Structure 1
Amino acid sequence: MKRALSAICVFTLFFLSCSRMLEEKNTTQYSSEYIYSTPEGLKLAAAALYTLQRYYADDAENATVFALERATDLAVTNGGTGNYFGIYDPNFLKPSSTQVQFMWSTMYNIIGKANEIIAAGTAMEDTRALRQTIAEAKCFRAQSYFLLYRTFDRIWLNTGPTTPENINTAKDYHAATQKEVFDLLYDDLDYAIENLDWTSYQPGRFNQAAARHLKAKAALWLKDWSEALIQVDSIDQSGYYHLVPLNTVFNAADLNHPEALLVQQWSKNPGGNLSNTTPQGNYFAAYFIASYRTEIGGTAEYACSYENGGYTYGRCLPSPYLFSLYDKEVDKRYTTYYIQRYRNTTDKTIAYGAVNVAPGEYFPALKDGKVNRFIYPGCVKWGDVWTRAAFEPRSYKDVIVYRLAETYIMGAEAALQKGDQALAKYYYNKTWERAGNPAFAGTLTIKDIMDEQARELSFEGDRWYFLKRLGFLIDQVKNYAGDPGISASVAGRKNLPANPHFIRWPIPESEVINMGADNFPQNPGY
């Protein structure tokens, strides 16, 4: 897929314009007729959906993809764009927020393109290859609606394509019921499971394992424990996937290994996320490691080093609560997933409060006895020493979307909820023992699942939704978010309990206006 990014991006730009019915001269080899009337055209259209997903992940201006990562018990949120989501600031977390609009509009854009592919495909002669293309589009539709539902609670369902015949037809805007949402998710994912192979024909594309994983996640929201276990058991017993050694999960530019069920492909080739000229990487590598370069000073070339994590912004850092969950002497994740200290990699002695740090020495964690946000532990899961120079902010390292470790933790939860302690411990011990801990032999509780989810999956995008689903988000943030040594980072402890409606995002202001407040009113509290 990486070699095809440039061609796919060019196609995507055309795909966007032609699907909006613009009357323009076609300057590419792809016509609207070719796209929507041939299996080969639909295959290109499905590939373009991956470009749109990378576009969402790249969102450098608003950092939407990171907004909720900062808003959990595991994070020390640390300034910068979108910080108000981390501290639940009522002055900024509102219907006019750019992050709110960007998620909504981008996901519905993906859904709209998926609808067009699905509708066009059902009108063609049925083949195995065509069903695979439709299945990919259904995965994108299910994934996008699932994200929207978990974030906003109230969404509009649309499964039909936009055509010249219906573009001006009045829409019936109303909030879908939970049953309507999850019936669609189940139907789309069942189709995908039936028609996709266990491993995709090209790295980065949806496969049966990713579809089953996504259905298991959806089933947990319905407390459909049996369905979640069916999907987890199927993946576990498939023979295609297994946990890899802990130090290899994230330790490469190419992360297409047997633990990864779906991997977002990144490359320095032109294109890939709506740019067919200057390559546009993502900011995952810069976001979760402290901005140590501030203490070193000077230019980025001078201050940044691979050893310390390269160029970083230090926006979202691990909380003391997160570290308290590890047995630091036994659990290898404590040292594998995090950087605990930073070294003076220059040839000059650096003044650091009341002390001096000589070349080659490590900066003390405290500066004049106080917590220092610039020399603070960071998460290296997304760290990148392979695809960028040490002083470059953008990364082209792959991003794992779904991995088997999460599958097993979901299995442990579903089995526990069904009262099957033996099966729950079987799945729980997969990640627990891989990290170096002795097998868990006691009585497993939901608190154990919560803690293992934090230890294994920190900063991988699901903690906020996980706590919200279980009903623990407010209590966990109130008790543990941030670091008291960085006072601004603990604001959420007060703001979220005082504003309980913040467990969901507001409907974008412009969308309420477009749909009509009588048809689709704003979420309560906003």
Structure 2
Amino acid sequence: AEIANIGRMFQGTTPDNSGVLGHYWNTYYKIIERSNALIRSAETIKGIDEAKRIQILSEAKFFRANSVFILYRTFNNIYITTEPTNFENAFNLINQVTPADEIFKLVKDDLAFSITNLPWTNTQVGRITQGTARHVKAEVALWQSDWAEAKLQAEAVIDPTLVGGPAAVHTLVASTGNVFRGDQNHKEALWNIQWKVLVNGTPHKINFNLMPNYAENMAGSKYTIEQSGRGFSWLTLNNYLRNLLAADPNDTRIKGNYYIKDYVYNDAATIAGATAAPYLPVGVPKNLGDKIARTDHDEFGSTAASRNNFFIRLNAGCKKYFPDDGNPTVDNQTKNIMVYRLAETFLFAAEANMMLGNIGTSGDAATARTALGQLNAVRKRAATTALSAITLQDILDEQARELAFEGKRWYMLKRTGKLYDYIVDHAGYGAPGDLALENAAVNTKTGVAHDNTPANPFTYRNDARRGMKAHFVNWPIPTNIKTLLGPSYPQNTGY
């Protein structure tokens, strides 16, 4: 339930109710601390093979840079040290944050070292490569509005020959249906965490959180691999994202490749029970493969219970985290997780080129190195129509369609100064900007009574719209973390 509580802003809004956020703080600081120790040891140890020394330094500096960058984007008020923890400094109190310019210098210096020394490919899947480091450096440049650097680094990942590297190291998977198939160790993956049963970590509940419970109390339906297993609807697609995906009827991402919106009868043993009411059409025998429909599971139903049932059991879900060979009846699944992938790099490059005025035309190939060529490479892969003009809004929309539920959206909206407005307008379910309580009669944005239509529906789980404050763009430093810092260490503004 934590994912729902954070999403609805029942938690994570004050230092005292943000203990769960401490996991982010502790995890990334632990990575930084261990990276510091590895770097110091690799720099000073005697008798080590020089190639191994460089590999250790390159990987450790990447992990330090990546962790610092995540902490800065998330918490803002962070402190950074490059000193390994020892008996002399372990109990030093920290009273000052590190200035942003020093943070960015460390991140860029570490990434530059990694880029210089990491290989483009690695026979050990899951290891960091030069492409991974360049991808992160491109995003760092976007945060600093350094469009030329962002273009350089992103396009180097897309085509390493531009910087003297080998050809065809990274390519977009040809079909959206194959991006999240199998182990995902394909050429689109820039960093794919290898999550193996009984080897690396424990099974996770990401899929369970992101899929609805479509087979619960549902005649003719059972949990299957094809429909991405069992879920509990803690966090599913809202109408804002569904509308973006519906903008082009050919978009393959919403047709069961990234997301699934239609659930079908698939259980011959119980399908006879779906003939009578409340199953629609009433009195008509259902066939395997027919879309499930019920009068009491209706997004625009006349009762709150009917609408609630729809969101729990039949709303669109994200299937990116269900393994091809998973057990569809259990909560926990084991699947590799792509942290960075090339589709995002294309969007980085498109944004940088747009800002530099390198717009291009709708007919440009990705190799043209123009904003439209790069944005449309992602769109064409999803079978959507190529755009002939480009704005930041186009990039934001495409980022939502392509990368939803991959941990990217908060940072993108924060970087572009749109986080507060987007949460107030679109969090949860409802018409844009409608802050009405669930089942309330009137749309607060327009003053018009809800008519229970796609354009003006009753709201659902839109608490974050009402709870959002401008200072929430930076997470609070949790009380259990703050008490371990010095008495003068500053909390983020507003908390």
Provide TM-score, normalisation by structure 2: 0.82
Distance in 1 (CA, whole Å) between partners of 2:219 and 2:73 is 42
Alignment of 1:152-167 (within 5 A): 152-167=75-90
Q: How does 1:437-456 map to 2 (within 5 A)?
A: 437-442=384-389, 444-456=390-402
- The answer to whether structure 1 residue 114 and structure 2 residue 35 are counterparts is yes
Name the structure 1 match of 2:492: 523
Classify 1:135/1:329 alpha carbon distance in 2 versus 1 (closer, same or farther; 3 Å): same
Paired position in structure 1 for 2:318: 379
Aligned to 1:315: 234
Contact 2:344 2:403 in 1 (8 A): yes
Q: How far did residue 465 of structure 1 move? A: 0.8
What's 2:224 paired with?
A: 305
| Aligned residue number for residue 465 of structure 1 | 411
Kindly indicate whether the alpha-carbon contact (under 8 Å) linking 2:176 and 2:252 is maintained by their aligned counterparts in 1. no
- The answer to which structure has the higher helix fraction is 1
C-alpha distance in 2, partners of 1:329/1:384? 27
SS in 1 for 2:104: helix
1:324-348 deviations in Å (ceiling 9; x for gaps): 2233422222313221122333322
TM-score (norm 1): 0.77
- Counterpart-to-counterpart distance in 1, 2:121 and 2:492: 40
RMSD: 2.3
Letter in 1 for 2:378: T
1:295 corresponds in structure 2 to 217
Measure how far apart 1:480 and its partner are: 1.8
From 375, 380, 384, give the equivalent of 1:428: 375
**SS across alignment from 2:236:** strand
* Aligned residue runs from structure 1 range 480-499, under 5 A: 480-484=426-430, 487-496=459-468, 499=469
Aligned position for 1:30: none
Shift of 1:486: 7.2
Map of 2:101 onto structure 1: 179
Distance in 2 (CA, whole Å) between partners of 1:257 and 1:293 is 33
Report the equivalent of 2:200: 272
Aligned length: 431
Question: How far 1:152 sits from its partner (Å)?
Answer: 0.8
Counterpart-to-counterpart distance in 2, 1:486 and 1:469 = 31
2:7 alignment partner, SS class:
helix
Superposition deviation, residue 400 in structure 1: 0.8
Q: 1:96/1:115 Cα in 2 relative to 1: closer, same or farther (>3 Å)?
A: farther
- 1:9 is matched with none
Alpha-carbon separation, structure 2, partners of 1:171 and 1:415: 45
Shift of 1:172: 4.4
Unaligned stretches of 5+ in structure 1?
A: 1-79, 274-279
C-alpha contact (below 8 Å) 1:365/1:375 kept by paired residues: no
Matched, 1:391 2:329: yes
1:234 to 133, 138, 156: 156
User: Does 2:438 correspond to 1:510?
Assistant: no
Asked whether the equivalents of residues 13 and 475 of structure 2 are also in contact (C-alpha less than 8 Å), the reply is no
Measured after TM superposition, the shift of residue 426 of structure 1 is 2.0
> Partner letter of residue 424 of structure 1?
A
Aligned residue type for 2:81:
N
Deviations 1:482-506 (A, max 9, x none): 223674421112211xx22211210
CA distance in 2, matches of 1:91, 1:212: 32
Asked if the contact 2:13/2:476 (under 8 Å) is kept, the reply is no
Quote the Cα distance in structure 2 between the aligned partners of 1:377 and 1:462: 20
Quick check: 1:406 aligned with 2:344? yes
Q: Partner amino acid for 2:479?
A: E
Q: CA separation of 1:91/1:464 partners in 2, compared to 1, >3 Å: closer, same or farther?
A: closer
Equivalent residue number for residue 88 of structure 1: 9
Q: Answer yes or no: is the 8 Å Cα contact 1:310–1:385 preserved in 2.
A: no
351-360 vs 188-197, which moves further: 351-360
Bigger RCO (CA 8 Å, 6+ sep): 1
* Deviations 1:3-36, CA, capped at 9 Å, x for gaps: xxxxxxxxxxxxxxxxxxxxxxxxxxxxxxxxxx
Identity among equivalent pairs (%): 33
Aligned 8 A contact 1:253 1:396 in 2: no
Q: Retained in 2: the 8 A contact 1:88–1:502?
A: no
The whole-number CA distance in structure 2 between the counterparts of 1:322 and 1:417 is 25
AA in 1 matched with 2:134: R
Residues 466-494 of structure 1 show CA distances to partners (whole Å, capped at 9, x for unaligned) of 00110111111222222236744211122
Q: Name the CA shift for 1:524/1:288 in 2 (closer, same or farther; >3 Å).
A: same
Query: Cα offset for 1:294?
Result: 2.6
Shift of 1:207: 0.7
**One-letter code aligned to 1:315:** W
Using the alignment, how far apart are the partners of 2:402 and 2:89 within structure 1? 47
CA distance in 1, matches of 2:44, 2:339: 31
Does structure 1 residue 197 correspond to structure 2 residue 197? no
Which amino acid in 2 is paired with 1:459?
Answer: F
Structure 2 vs 1, CA of residues 97 and 91 (structure 1 numbering), >3 Å: closer, same or farther? Answer: closer
Q: Structure 1 residues 517 and 392 mapped into 2: Cα distance closer, same or farther (>3 Å)? A: same
